[in-house]
Amino acid sequence: MKGIITVLGKDKVGIIAKVCTYLAEQNVNILDISQTIVQDYFNMMMIVDVSKPAKAFEALIEDLQGIGHEIGVEIKLQHEDIFNSMHRI
């Protein structure tokens, strides 16, 4: 099962490190990653494998939101199917 993680906010040191460290601790593998910085605003999108996480999917969502709050960015995790449905033209 795949998930989509989006991270948005003001750029600062350690955003990628914080998110990736948490994912590794939860046995979530990063399959693809894209990030850009536009005029001090950080935008990252990740496709991750959430087929064998250490925690339930809902707990991952809550933890990532908490990490985002800690570092001053917005982090969202969605199932790939839901993400695709929401962004289909």
Q: How confident is the model at residue 46 (pLDDT cuts 50, 70, 90)?
A: very high
pLDDT in tens, 49-66: 999 999 999 999 999 999
pLDDT of residue 14: 96
CA–CA distances in Å: residue 80 to residues 4, 11, 22, 86? 6, 26, 20, 10
Q: How confident is the model at residue 35 (pLDDT cuts 50, 70, 90)?
A: very high
Q: DSSP labels for the chain?
A: -EEEEEEEEE--TTHHHHHHHHHHHTT-EEEEEEEEEETTEEEEEEEEE-SS-SS-HHHHHHHHHHHHHHHTEEEEEEEHHHHHHHT--
**89 pLDDT higher than 60:** no
Mean of per-residue pLDDT scores for the chain = 93
Q: How confident is the model at residue 81 (pLDDT cuts 50, 70, 90)?
A: confident
Q: Which residues contact 40 (CB under 8 A, 6 or more apart)?
A: 10, 11
Domains of the chain in sequence order: 2-86 (3.30.70.260)
pTM, entire model? 0.89
Residue 12 sits at the vertex; the CA angle it makes with 65 and 34, to the nearest 5 degrees, is: 70
